[in-house]
Amino acid sequence: MVAKNIGEPVLRKEDARFITGKGNYTDDINLRGQAHAFFVRAPVARAMITSLDCSAAEAADGVVAVLTGAQVAEDGLGSLPCGWMVLSKDGSEMKQPPHPPLAADRINYSGEPFAVVIADTLQQARDAAELVEVEFDELDAVVSVADAQSGPQIHPEVPDNTNYDWELGERDETLKAIENAHHVTRLSLVNNRLIPNAIEPRAAIGDYNSGTDEITLYTTSQNPHLARLVLTAFVQLAPEHKLRIIAPDVGGGFGSKIFIYSEETVVAWAARKLDLPIKWTADRSESFLTDAHGRDHVSEAELAMDENGNFLALRVKTLANMGAYLSTFASAVPTYLYGTLLAGQYKTPNVYVEVQAVMTNTAPVDAYRGAGRPEATYLLERIVEIAAQEMNMDPAELRRKNFIQPEDFPYQTPVALEYDIGDYEASLDKALAMADYAGFSARREASVAEGKLRGIGFSCYIEACGLAPSQVAGSLGAGVGLWESGEVRVNPTGSVTVMTGSHSHGQGHETTFAQLVASQLGISIDDVEVIHGDTGKMDFGMGTYGSRSLSVGGSALMKAADKIVAKGKKIAGHLMDAKSEDIDFDDGEFKVRESNLSKTFQEIAFAAYVPHDYPLEELEPGLTEKAFYDPANFTYPAGTHICEVEIDPDTGVTSVVKFTAVDDFGTIINPMIVEGQVHGGIAQGIGQAMLEHGIYDETGQLQTGSFMDYCMPRADDLPNFDVGMTTTVCTHNPVGAKGCGEAGAIGSPPAVINAITNALGVREIDMPATPLNVWQTLQNATHEDARGE
Amino acid sequence: MYNFNYHCPSSLQEAESLYAKSEDPMFLAGGHTLLPTMKQRLNAPTDLIDLAGLTELAGISREGDVLQIGAYTRHADVAASELVQAAIPALAKLARGIGDTQVRNRGTIGGSVANNDPAADYPAALLGLGATVVTTKRAVPADEFFVDMFETVLEEGEIITAVTFPVKGDAEYIKFANPASRYATVGVFINRHNDGVRVAITGAASSVFRCSEYEAALSSSFAESALNGITLRTDNFNEDLHASVDYRAHLCAVIAKRVIASMV
Ligand SMILES: Cc1cc2nc3c(=O)[nH]c(=O)nc-3n(C[C@H](O)[C@H](O)[C@H](O)COP(=O)(O)OP(=O)(O)OC[C@H]3O[C@@H](n4cnc5c(N)ncnc54)[C@H](O)[C@@H]3O)c2cc1C
């Protein structure tokens, strides 16, 4: 049962710290005697290193050491592994090339590190890096996804540059349904490559204590325990109990800080090797070049319908770019987090998807806010919108007609997932009302009168969050379980310290989790301190991604809090001479039922730690409880986004004039924080749809390597968002929550593009719909019209 | 950034002699163009001569029909100046549209003009208004000052001290901003006065230029329709991720018409 305090828009506890500059980010930490690392990076995308001479650099002022890929190999440091096995259609295992922390003889993307200079100051390290003498034998680079399979082979382990050829769903049934259908809508589309750009660049400090033989690594991680597991069990950096990872305040991740990168590995390794604290902080250019990028799919899809617009079958073929190496989660993104979502909110009986993962000489591609689900939603909601055009049906009504209905739950999709609950029509109706769909044609006329084009677009998305039921994940090839840990430590005075394996890098856990625990224990949220991000402090945990923190991490905390209450009842029973079954706990008080006897939570806490009057023979003193929670299913946040745009046909400039999002996230602890998450997600989604594009030239040089060319959304690019909620409570976790962190980025891109194609009266436009792209599309459409006449 | 010697002279003379004595010196104004290139190690002066202490480069004044803006005047100060707003409101508006608050609080008109970025805003105003660039050596009409991409007639060690603008007729500037950098993809400055019409376009080509085709058409009829059917020569137009040559050419006409519409 969820009690008071939940659902209140409590101001964020962490904000005072953040907005007064009192945050403690990795780069804020300076260790006594620390040296600085500067990575020497390849200026070319694909090459053999034919010679490498570091002697001049080693002799330079202030230089402690110059370490190379050869030394990494000599010390037996392993490859950075990808954590998810994906099997091909023929049952063969995915092809995974080794990923050395420093390249030894071959360069596979521009920006790849092949040496590191460690010096007393960063300036000295940079100066010395220019003295590293290296010669490359440059090779033709493979850059575009579409050409990857026919290009020169990048890794000997990966023939045709293809990691796997994966499928999901019933092939024959799907093809048959398409062949016999009344109408088939066909679509080819690209999901544009994105560069994450968290406001805090990645950073790491390695610190070695030769007395205890322990390494401490401070790093910008969304999942410090997972990083420790990978660095110890796979990379063989140190035994697990001799590596402590601290991820202090982290300034945004969006997925890019899940992964285990070269730099933190090297800094930790070098710290021990040189017995010296070593610090590295990426500059923005390094972030552009080396943070794992997102998306980058090329797909073809077919949607079959009967004469009434009922969906019969969906077939999808996707090429997914993995970049030069398989990053930590990369293989799972275009498969388990993508193919499984292609049923969407619809009861399409047959869905069949094939995904080939391909390698290119570009930065690794991995999970980025939404991870796979935005790609699935974009494909599905684009083809549904075009199907509505082709069937001459209202796009909202075509969707409504095909929705899975409330009575259909639990609903088994043809692509593996079982949705527990939802009410898609409720979200659609509320969104239609909030967006004043009925008034759209009048608004369009008003725009036309001013020489503008106006369009409206829909997106009814679903996502699978709360990663993940461990057994399901395991059967899908995950290398780890995906439960979460939580601990509630009641202090003798009754205040509470909460430890969670989740990690906050902007999400507001210190507030949300405090609200959750405070309401369970009937205490003030000011009496709850939430601690996260240190493998030396809390139990092993799985970290934060996939909108899992509240539904999985929060559930663990709820279980732990329940245990505290259960133990408290026993103590209270003893103190008040009653059976613990006769004690009710309500609003911070333990009461003997049908009496006026009661004890406060604080009195019970004190009694537990000062057990002078205490049933010591039956009960241990102290009041601390832990719980591990493994979810029974994924959670399924879903909703409707409606975007309205106005386009200036003279310049191609598109303004998002109205954006409505109605989401069903299950139980909401703090609506203000949830709205903030939705706002941020939509901003990123609009960024993808209209502004952002990671572009490499044909030689593999990143052309959008700074904010001068990579266009991040800014406040004046965005309208005020109208955010609404509908609620169906998640059936299988104690909080009832589904997760809200990614929905905005998942739902919004197709709504924006559907609005733009609607305004332009065209079938297709690729993301990002920049002014140039929109103008060019209009020119082409006008020319085609002219030719058609 | 590499190490360099920092100087902060208090007179023009001292600045010039420091320049003459140094191995590979550069002048520093707001630093918003120079410092990023130094951080990226693309520029490596041995000596940085900061112009901040030179009172000779400060201040905005008007004498009759001449508005003078000292080279070290920040964009924000031009934007906020009542003198500028009264004399040439389009110039204040242009300054208000440069970069963001931080850039406007540091960047200077002298630095912008000396740099001659093909996508910068000020060069359009200088050329459009027929301004004069005053330096330690001479006074150069804007028509002769801007040579090509990042190139001006400034010689080694020559310091811009001020820019003077004739106050005549009315003027307007509209920029179509690059969505990412917010520099001008195309910016059009038009000045209409008794002697005719001047049209300067920035962003479109390798350097700011006067658009003689538009000037001729507008001199006979100052109306949007006057630009119809004019095709610009685009041999030296820029092409990048954000705008093709055709798009830029198209935008020149669209933006010029918007400027005209706001002036008639
Ligand atoms: C994020 C960002 C956004 C920007 N957006 C815009 C924009 O939208 N529009 C725009 O027009 N500009 C823009 N700029 C550029 C900005 O206006 C710069 O300030 C300007 O171009 C250079 O002026 P500065 O005073 O900073 O010069 P500095 O960077 O100090 O110097 C630039 C060059 O000029 C030389 N120099 C400086 N002063 C003199 C002088 N008096 N005499 C001779 N040489 C001199 C220097 O030696 C150097 O070579 C932007 C800059 C940034 C960083």
Closest atom of ligand 1 relative to the B159 alpha carbon: 42
For A72-76, what is the mean pLDDT? 96
B241 inside 8 A of chain A by CB: yes
Query: How far is it, in rounded angstroms, from Cα A77 to Cα A260?
Result: 14
Inform me whether the pLDDT recorded for B246 exceeds 70.
Answer: yes
Inform me whether the pLDDT recorded for A281 exceeds 90.
Answer: yes
Q: Whose CA is nearest to atom 4 of ligand 1?
A: B99
CA B189 from chain centre, in angstroms, equals 11
Token representation of residue A765: 């436009």
Inform me whether the pLDDT recorded for A41 exceeds 70.
Answer: yes
Same domain, A274 and A207: yes
For A325-341, what is the mean pLDDT? 97
Last residue of a domain, one of A595, A610, A629: A629
Closest atom of ligand 1 relative to the B33 alpha carbon: 29
Is A695 in contact with B241 (Cβ distance < 8 A)? yes
Query: How far is it, in rounded angstroms, from Cα B189 to Cα A440?
Result: 38
Domain range spanning residue A496?
A: 483-629
Instruction: Tell me the per-residue pLDDT of A197-251, one tens digit each, with 9 for 90 and over.
Output: 999 999 999 999 999 999 999 999 999 999 999 999 999 999 999 999 999 999 9
Last residue of a domain, one of A586, A608, A629: A629
Angle of the B245-263 helix axis to the A771-788 helix axis, nearest 10: 100
Q: What is the pLDDT of residue A3?
A: 47
Beta strands A214-219 and A203-209: pairing type? antiparallel
CA A768 from chain centre, in angstroms, equals 21
Query: What residues form DSSP beta bridges with A16?
Result: none
Same domain, A502 and A367: no
Is A707 in contact with B254 (Cβ distance < 8 A)? no
Quick count: other Cβ atoms within 10 Å of Cβ A441?
A: 11
Q: Do A554 and A473 meet the contact criterion of CB atoms below 8 Å apart? A: no
Inform me whether the pLDDT recorded for B117 exceeds 80.
Answer: yes
Same domain, A349 and A497: no
Average pLDDT value for chain A? 96
The domain segmentation of chain B, as residue ranges, is 5-48, 57-166, 170-263
In terms of CA atoms, which chain A residue is nearest residue B119? Answer: A708
Inform me whether the pLDDT recorded for A1 exceeds 70.
Answer: no
How remote is the CA of residue B109 from the centroid of ligand 1, in Å? 7
Tell me the percentage of chain A whose pLDDT exceeds 90. 97
A127 inside 8 A of chain B by CB: yes
Instruction: Tell me the per-residue pLDDT of B30-77, one tens digit each, with 9 for 90 and over.
Output: 999 999 999 999 999 999 999 999 999 999 999 999 999 999 999 999
How remote is the CA of residue B24 from the centroid of ligand 1, in Å? 19
Report in angstroms the alpha-carbon separations of A407 from A89, A243, A403, A424, A429.
35, 51, 11, 12, 18
* In a domain? residue A125: yes
Cross-sheet strand order for the sheet of A63-68: A63-68, A113-119, A35-41, A278-281, A203-209, A214-219, A243-246
Same domain, A612 and A662: no
Q: Which of B41, B181, B247 sits opposite A708 (nearest CB)?
A: B181
CB neighbour list of residue A165: distance below 8 Å, 6 or more residues apart: A88, A89, A90, A354, A355, A356
* In a domain? residue A24: no
Last residue of a domain, one of A612, A629, A646: A629
Helix and strand tally (H, E) in chain B?
A: 11, 14
Q: What is the pLDDT of residue A2?
A: 39
Measured between beta carbons, which residues in chain B are less than 8 angstroms from residue A772? 242-244, 247
Is B248's C-beta closer than 6 angstroms to any atom of ligand 1? Answer: no
- Number of domain units in chain A: 3
Same domain, A276 and A387: no
Query: How far is it, in rounded angstroms, from Cα A196 to Cα A369?
Result: 9
CATH top-level class for B170-263?
alpha beta
Q: What is the pLDDT of residue A4?
A: 59
Same domain, A605 and A651: no
Is B34's C-beta closer than 6 angstroms to any atom of ligand 1? Answer: yes
* In a domain? residue A735: yes
**ω before A768 within 30° of 0 (cis)?**
yes
Instruction: Tell me the per-residue pLDDT of A156-202, one tens digit each, with 9 for 90 and over.
Output: 999 999 999 999 999 999 999 999 999 999 999 999 999 999 999 99
In terms of CA atoms, which chain B residue is nearest residue A692? Answer: B180
- 0.90 cut: is pTM over it? yes
Q: Which of A330, A346, A477 is nearest to A415 (CA)?
A: A346
Is B179 in contact with A704 (Cβ distance < 8 A)? no
In terms of CA atoms, which chain B residue is nearest residue A124? Answer: B2
Inform me whether the pLDDT recorded for B229 exceeds 60.
Answer: yes
Same domain, A456 and A496: no
B250 inside 8 A of chain A by CB: yes
Inform me whether the pLDDT recorded for A789 exceeds 50.
Answer: no
Q: Do A591 and A597 meet the contact criterion of CB atoms below 8 Å apart? A: yes
Same domain, A261 and A319: no
For A538-562, what is the mean pLDDT? 95
Q: What is the pLDDT of residue B137?
A: 97
Is B157's C-beta closer than 6 angstroms to any atom of ligand 1? Answer: no
Q: Which of B2, B40, B247 sits opposite A775 (nearest CB)?
A: B247
Average pLDDT value for chain B? 97
Measured between beta carbons, which residues in chain A are less than 8 angstroms from residue B120? none
User: Binning pLDDT at 50, 70 and 90, where does residue A788 land?
Assistant: low
**ω before A410 within 30° of 0 (cis)?**
yes
Region B57-166: CATH code:
3.30.465.10
* SS3 category, A574: helix
CATH top-level class for B5-48?
alpha beta
Inform me whether the pLDDT recorded for A265 exceeds 80.
Answer: yes
B256 inside 8 A of chain A by CB: no
Query: How far is it, in rounded angstroms, from Cα A88 to Cα A768?
Result: 32
Measured between beta carbons, which residues in chain B are less than 8 angstroms from residue A650? 254
Maximum Cα–Cα distance for chain B, whole Å?
A: 57
Query: How far is it, in rounded angstroms, from Cα A364 to Cα A371?
Result: 14
Same domain, A732 and A751: yes
Is A707 in contact with B176 (Cβ distance < 8 A)? no
User: Binning pLDDT at 50, 70 and 90, where does residue A508 land?
Assistant: very high
Pocket mutation for ligand 1, best pick of B33, B113, B201 (most atoms within 8 Å of C-beta)? B33
Query: How far is it, in rounded angstroms, from Cα A721 to Cα B69?
Result: 43
User: Binning pLDDT at 50, 70 and 90, where does residue A775 land?
Assistant: very high
For A52-65, what is the mean pLDDT? 98
Report in angstroms the alpha-carbon separations of A728 from A552, A620, A636, A638, B23.
17, 40, 10, 10, 73
Report in angstroms the alpha-carbon separations of A543 from A145, A240, A468, A677.
31, 17, 12, 18
Quick count: other Cβ atoms within 10 Å of Cβ A356?
A: 21
* SS3 category, B190: strand
Beta strands B5-7 and A528-532: pairing type? unpaired
Instruction: Tell me the per-residue pLDDT of A290-326, one tens digit each, with 9 for 90 and over.
Output: 999 999 999 999 999 999 999 999 999 999 999 999 9
Pocket mutation for ligand 1, best pick of B7, B27, B160 (most atoms within 8 Å of C-beta)? B27
Q: Which of A197, A655, A709, A776 is the mutation pick for testing B, counting most B CBs within 10 A?
A: A709
* SS3 category, B124: helix
Same domain, A727 and A620: no
Q: Do A564 and A570 meet the contact criterion of CB atoms below 8 Å apart? A: no
Instruction: Tell me the per-residue pLDDT of A704-726, one tens digit each, with 9 for 90 and over.
Output: 999 999 999 999 999 999 999 99
Q: Which of A541, A579, A552, A563 is nearest to A490 (CA)?
A: A563
Report in angstroms the alpha-carbon separations of A159 from A97, A139, A199, A359, B246.
10, 17, 38, 10, 42
User: Binning pLDDT at 50, 70 and 90, where does residue B129 land?
Assistant: very high
For A54-65, what is the mean pLDDT? 98
Is B115's C-beta closer than 6 angstroms to any atom of ligand 1? Answer: yes
CATH number of domain containing A211? 3.90.1170.50
How remote is the CA of residue B38 from the centroid of ligand 1, in Å? 13
Pocket mutation for ligand 1, best pick of B34, B35, B39, B117 (most atoms within 8 Å of C-beta)? B34
Same domain, A102 and A212: yes
CATH number of domain containing A712? 3.30.365.10
Measured between beta carbons, which residues in chain B are less than 8 angstroms from residue A651? 176, 251, 254
* In a domain? residue A333: yes
* SS3 category, A387: helix
Same domain, A419 and A343: yes
Query: How far is it, in rounded angstroms, from Cα A545 to Cα A370?
Result: 9
